């Protein structure tokens, strides 16, 4: 079905494996806050996917446990509001585990082997077929459980997650064909701005990643941001002297400005230019130094991060309240996901103990068999 009771419901999530960085912010967090405040959705759920994180961190559960608080603090400081958004913890939602087990039968191992995201992540982690944990291999199935357990209509994600949503849709279609129209068919929603879809690392490498040390974290202080931009952002190697003409394409300072700078930033920090296009033109023409561009970028980033830092400090001083937020969110999520599990088990006719009606059914059957 397109939706349950005509409700527009969002579900998305993150693996708690580290603090969130600017790539997460432009690629998803900022959008979630906008969606939350748009008033267009009946329900918004954000899942801290600790079970999914364990599929490739089974030997290091402490890392996941530690990072739950980091991720929640990042959520709250970026503007997710627990009064409007349900923040919950995956491992504490047993309905998800049950759904995953049923959905395993809705997909073949051949289909899972073709999932491009899993393939890419396997390569990144150096998993061979031999060393591949079955839990990691099948996590797209569990992600389908995450999504469908909330009757989600919309799943805001980064582009790299599109194969997951595709996989989920196939499972939903198969389930509904076999057991009747039970599950909501979800749709992916990806960032509109192409620069925000894939923010490269500050070293220009394709992605921000903790192991490459090429991230700017939402929790970084102003000094760190300055150090990272000045020290790690390469510009245009052919732009040696200020008067040389420069390239803005493939120049990571400009890639970041594309993602973050607004015309208002120019008014505030660099009024000699009306907008980014004018700045780029000057750079291409020659006569504009990298230092000016970097300084502007540092100002832009700090203006974005300052209020986030302030909020983070506030919440960090009151972890008791943060605990209550995820406890309450998880309780709400338990109700929601248990209801969907009950519906699924009814559709599958495995709700034996729902009422005693099966007693009559079995009695009739035995009479017929006699
Ligand atoms: N796989 C997602 C990621 O790595 C995290 C995630 C888990 C998720 N469950 C989800 C995203 C459900 C969207 C919907 O970023």
Sorted by where each begins, the domain ranges of the chain are 4-199+319-361, 222-314
Task: Measure the CA–CA gap between 286 and 239, rounded to whole angstroms.
Answer: 8
* Ligand 1 atom at minimum distance from 49 CA: 7
Tell me, what's the pLDDT at 208? Answer: 85
**What are 198-213's pLDDT values in tens digits?**
789 999 988 888 778 8
The answer to whether residue 294 scores a pLDDT higher than 90 is yes
CB distance 154 to ligand 1 below 6 Å: no
CB distance 51 to ligand 1 below 6 Å: no
Which residue has its alpha carbon closest to ligand 1 atom 6? 13
Burial 213-230 (b: 16+ CB within 10 A, else e): ebbbbbbbeeeebbebbe
Distance 143 CA to ligand 1 centre (A): 6
Q: Report the SS3 class of residue 13.
A: strand
Interacting residues of 115 by C-beta distance below 8 A, sequence separation 6+ = 140, 163, 164, 167
Tell me, what's the pLDDT at 227? Answer: 95
Q: Report the SS3 class of residue 34.
A: helix
Strands 43-48 and 154-156: unpaired
At residue 247, φ and ψ (nearest 5 deg) are: -105, 135
3-state helix, strand, coil in the chain (%, to 5): 60, 5, 35
CB 315 within 8 A of CB 322: yes
The rounded Cα 2 to chain-centroid distance in angstroms is 23
Tell me, what's the pLDDT at 324? Answer: 98
Task: Measure the CA–CA gap between 276 and 281, rounded to whole angstroms.
Answer: 9
Tokens found for residue 120: 């890419």
Which residue has its alpha carbon closest to ligand 1 atom 8? 13
The answer to whether residue 273 scores a pLDDT higher than 90 is yes
The rounded Cα 258 to chain-centroid distance in angstroms is 21
DSSP 217: B
**What are 17-66's pLDDT values in tens digits?**
999 999 999 888 999 999 999 999 999 999 999 999 999 999 999 999 99
Tokens found for residue 267: 């008014």
Pocket test for ligand 1, best of 11, 14, 158 (most atoms within 8 A of CB): 14
CB 201 within 8 A of CB 209: yes
**What are 222-237's pLDDT values in tens digits?**
999 999 999 999 889 8
Pocket test for ligand 1, best of 96, 117, 122, 157 (most atoms within 8 A of CB): 157
The answer to whether residue 182 scores a pLDDT higher than 90 is yes
The answer to whether residue 197 scores a pLDDT higher than 80 is no
CATH number assigned to the domain covering 4-199+319-361: 3.40.50.620
CATH number assigned to the domain covering 222-314: 1.10.240.10
Tell me, what's the pLDDT at 137? Answer: 94
Pocket test for ligand 1, best of 143, 145, 148, 152 (most atoms within 8 A of CB): 143
- For residue 98, give the nearest of 154, 155, 35, 142 by alpha carbon: 142
Alpha helices in 261-353 (DSSP H): 263-269, 276-285, 290-316, 319-347
Residue with tokens 């100002």: 299
CB distance 165 to ligand 1 below 6 Å: no
Task: Measure the CA–CA gap between 148 and 99, rounded to whole angstroms.
Answer: 9
Which residue has its alpha carbon closest to ligand 1 atom 2? 14
Length of the chain counted residue by residue: 370
Tokens found for residue 330: 């998880």
Tell me, what's the pLDDT at 206? Answer: 81
Strands 154-156 and 86-89: unpaired
The answer to whether residue 194 scores a pLDDT higher than 80 is no
Distance 103 CA to ligand 1 centre (A): 17
The pTM of this model reads: 0.92
CB 197 within 8 A of CB 27: yes
**What are 99-151's pLDDT values in tens digits?**
999 999 999 999 999 999 888 888 888 888 788 899 999 999 999 999 999 99
Which residue has its alpha carbon closest to ligand 1 atom 15? 14
Q: Report the SS3 class of residue 187.
A: strand
CB 328 within 8 A of CB 82: yes
Burial 268-306 (b: 16+ CB within 10 A, else e): ebbeebeebeebbebbeeeebebebbbbbbbbbbbebbe
Distances (CA, A) of 224 to 96, 194, 258, 309, 348: 39, 27, 21, 13, 54
Concatenated DSSP letters of 161-220:
GHHHHHHHHHHHHHHHHHH-S-S---EEE--SSHHHHSPPPTTS-SS--GGGT---BTT-
Give me the percent of the chain exceeding a pLDDT of 70. 100
What's the mean pLDDT when you consider all of the chain? 95
The answer to whether residue 178 scores a pLDDT higher than 90 is yes
**What are 338-360's pLDDT values in tens digits?**
999 999 999 999 999 999 999 99
Tell me, what's the pLDDT at 356? Answer: 95
Largest CA distance in the chain: 98
CB distance 143 to ligand 1 below 6 Å: yes
Distances (CA, A) of 1 to 4, 179, 185, 262, 276: 7, 13, 6, 40, 45
Tell me, what's the pLDDT at 341? Answer: 98
The answer to whether residue 279 scores a pLDDT higher than 80 is yes
CB distance 93 to ligand 1 below 6 Å: no
Q: How much is the average pLDDT of 325-340?
A: 98
């Amino acid at each position: 079905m397109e939706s349950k009771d005509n409700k527009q419901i969002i579900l998305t999530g993150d693996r708690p494996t580290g603090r969130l960085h600017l790539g997460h912010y432009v690629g998803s967090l900022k959008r979630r806050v906008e969606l939350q405040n748009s008033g267009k959705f009946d329900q918004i759920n954000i899942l801290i996917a600790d079970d999914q994180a364990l599929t490739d961190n089974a030997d290091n559960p402490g890392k996941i446990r530690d990072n739950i608080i980091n991720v929640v603090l990042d959520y709250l400081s970026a503007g997710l509001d627990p009064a409007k958004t349900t923040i919950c913890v995956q491992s504490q939602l047993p309905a998800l585990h049950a759904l995953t087990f049923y959905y395993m039968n809705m997909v073949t191992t051949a289909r899972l082997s073709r999932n491009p995201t899993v393939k890419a992540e396997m390569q990144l982690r150096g998993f061979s077929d031999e060393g591949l944990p079955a839990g990691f291999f099948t996590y797209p199935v569990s992600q389908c459980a995450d999504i469908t357990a909330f009757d989600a209509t919309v799943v805001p994600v980064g582009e790299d997650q599109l194969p997951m949503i595709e996989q989920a849709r196939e499972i939903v279609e198969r389930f509904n064909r076999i057991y009747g129209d039970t599950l909501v068919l979800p749709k992916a929603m990806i960032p509109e701005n192409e620069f925000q879809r894939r923010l490269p690392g500050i070293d220009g490498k394709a992605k921000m990643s903790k192991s490459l040390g090429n991230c700017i974290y939402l929790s970084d202080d102003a000094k760190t941001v300055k150090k990272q931009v000045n020290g790690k952002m390469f510009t245009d190697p052919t732009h040696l002297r200020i008067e040389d003409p420069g390239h803005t394409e493939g120049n990571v300072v400009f890639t970041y400005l594309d993602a973050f700078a607004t015309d208002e930033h120019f008014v505030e920090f660099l009024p000699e230019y009306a907008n980014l296009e004018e700045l780029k033109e000057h750079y291409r023409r020659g006569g504009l130094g990298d230092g000016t561009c970097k300084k502007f970028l540092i100002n832009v980033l700090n203006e974005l991060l300052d209020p986030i830092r302030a909020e983070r400090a506030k919440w960090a001083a009151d972890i008791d309240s943060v605990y209550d937020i995820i406890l309450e969110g998880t309780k709400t999520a338990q109700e929601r996901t248990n209801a969907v599990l009950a519906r699924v088990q009814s559709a599958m006719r495995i709700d034996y103990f729902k009422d005693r009606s099966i007693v009559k059914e079995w009695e009739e059957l035995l009479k017929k068999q006699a």
